[in-house]
Amino acid sequence: MDTIKAAVCHAFGEPLVVEDISIRAPEGSEVEVTLDAVAICHSDITYMQGDWGGSLPAVYGHEAAGRISALGNHVRGLSVGEPVVVTLIRACQSCSNCASGSPVTCTTPYDGDHGPIKTQEGGKLHQAMATGGFAERVVVEQSQVVRIPDEMAMDVASLLACGVITGVGAAVNAANIRPGEVVVVIGAGGVGLNAIQGARIAGASRIIAVDMTEDKLDTAIEFGATDGVLATTEAPWKSAFKAAGRGADAVLVTVGAIPAYDSAPRYLAAGGKVVMVGMPPSGGLSQYEPVILAALGQGMVGSKMGDVVIQRDIPWMIDLYQQGRLKLDELISGRWRLDQINEAIADTKSGAARRNVIIFDRR
């Protein structure tokens, strides 16, 4: 076992503690990655607050990038020193869902309590979301990593591990947006901005951003929205109808807020569908009238991690980025050290940040 630094959650709702932990070498099809960057996702914060339960103590963080530093003896096609994105999508590649092309819904369970990390004293330490990225190194399955170009900045690459693939994938894969369609995106945060980008790339004629603040709507326009609607106005769906001239073919809810889910079907045109991306705390319930959805042929569908296949979709998104068709650099709000992680989390919780990234000092 080696010793590394990690930000550990010992109690839900309390600040993380940067401390020494133990990490074992990769085994079998596992890969060790020495991290250069890890972004802070709202899912990390939701877990740290205890809204989804979970085991403690734990190391969160799941949007990471770095270089491979060791390989298990069954790994093929990767080499030490190669730069990679590290995702939480741990796919067995043999269950019925993986075999059907849906690795994000892999049914093979993973127990993070018995992963590659332990406390410095040898006690249990949960590898949250099969990643544990708020640490100097991670050991993950080969299925969780994707090779990236040598010249790509690691802070930018880390965003591809979750927020970007979730938003763009929700538009392209789950909503299956076609050229000329009308799209509403509720929530113009990190995932929402990427859903807007995905809708633009897919050829939507109108992309209407809905958010609580004018600042975020202005940012949404920069990322490709054609119109912005304040969620605080009375009946904001009427403003969306007016902007597009009709209802939406797809409404992507990218925030985990129950009021957003309650209102989402109201934006739909006949035959349209709501794509549920944002994840509220466990126990949150939404209300809608099923008779309207049935009568108008509308639907609701969940989208986990943008329904992506990372070995296919991440290289495609990198290519879009290199062409200048996908904004990534502009998503980064701030860069922080590991010992500043609680400040970075507080800034993320304020709602002002697009993505805050922890940068690891290799000197």
- CATH code for the domain in which residue 225 is found: 3.40.50.720
Position 362 pLDDT exceeds 80: no
Residue 57, preceding peptide bond in cis (omega within 30° of 0): yes
Read off φ and ψ for residue 64, nearest 5 degrees: -130, 160
Mark whether 148 and 180 lie in a shared domain. no
Residues 25 and 98 placed together within one structural domain of the fold? yes
User: What average pLDDT score do residues 328-344 get?
Assistant: 97
- Domain count for the chain: 2
Same structural domain for residues 68 and 14? yes
| 109 and 241 part of one domain | no
Q: What is the pTM assigned to this prediction?
A: 0.95
Any domain includes 309? no
Question: Would you state the structure tokens that stand for residue 161, as one six-digit string?
Answer: 């591990």
- Residue 316 domain-assigned? no
Residues 210-239 have a mean pLDDT of 96
Specify whether 249 is located in the same domain as 118.
Answer: no
Q: Are residues 144 and 24 in the same domain?
A: yes
Average pLDDT, rounded, for the chain: 96
Per-residue pLDDT band at 363 (split at 50, 70, 90): low
Instruction: Retrieve residue 253's tokens.
Output: 């809810």
Whether 210 shows a pLDDT value over 70: the answer reads: yes
Average pLDDT over residues 197-223: 97
Q: Examine the pLDDT at 64 and tell me if it is beyond 80.
A: yes
Compute the distance between CA of residue 133 and CA of residue 138 in angstroms, rounded to an integer. 6
Whether residues 135 and 248 share a domain: the answer is no
Is residue 7 domain-shared with residue 154, that is, in the same domain? yes
Cα gap 333→347, rounded to integer Å: 10
Tell me which residue range forms the domain holding 263.
167-303
Q: Are 286 and 258 in contact (CB under 8 A)?
A: yes
DSSP state of 94: -
For 309, how many CA atoms within 13 A lie in the half-sphere containing its CB? 9
**355/244 same-domain check:** no
CB 278, CB 252: distance < 8 Å: no
Are 217 and 233 in contact, with CB atoms under 8 Å apart? Answer: no
Distance between CA atoms of residues 289 and 345, nearest Å: 37
Q: Are residues 215 and 289 in the same domain?
A: yes
Q: Which residues pair with 74 in a beta bridge?
A: none
The pair phi, psi for residue 95, each rounded to 5°, is -70, 170
pLDDT average, residue stretch 224-248: 97
Q: In terms of Cα–Cα distance, which of 230, 124, 223, 105 is closest to 174? A: 105
Is the residue at 313 inside a domain? no
pLDDT-based confidence at residue 350 (cuts at 50, 70, 90):
confident
- Residue 311 covered by a domain: no
- Region 229-241: mean pLDDT is 96
Whether the pLDDT of residue 354 is over 70: the answer is yes
Do 155 and 255 sit in the same domain of this protein?
no
Q: Are 263 and 246 in contact (CB under 8 A)?
A: no
Name the pairing type of β-strands 332-336 and 355-359.
Answer: parallel
pLDDT band at 167 (very low <50, low <70, confident <90, very high): very high
In the chain, the amino acid numbered 123 is G
Q: What is the arithmetic mean of pLDDT over 299-309?
A: 96
Within a domain: 343: yes
Cα(171)–Cα(203) distance, integer angstroms: 11
**Average pLDDT of 264-271?**
98
Residue 336 lies in a domain: yes
- Mean pLDDT, rounded, for 300-327: 97
Share of the chain above pLDDT 90, in %: 97
**Tokens found for residue 41:** 């996702």
Q: Quick check: 112 and 126 in contact, CB under 8 A? A: yes
Is pLDDT of 353 > 90?
Answer: no
Tell me, what CATH number does 68's domain have? 3.90.180.10
> Which pair of tokens denotes residue 198?
């995905």
Say yes or no: 150 and 282 in one domain. Answer: no
173 domain-assigned: yes
User: Residue 21: what pLDDT?
Assistant: 98
CB 175 within 8 A of CB 183: yes
The answer to whether residue 314 sits within a structural domain is: no
- H-assigned helices in the chain: 42-48, 96-99, 154-158, 163-169, 190-202, 214-222, 236-244, 258-263, 290-295, 310-323, 341-349
Cα-Cα-Cα-Cα dihedral sign, residues 230, 231, 236, 240 = positive
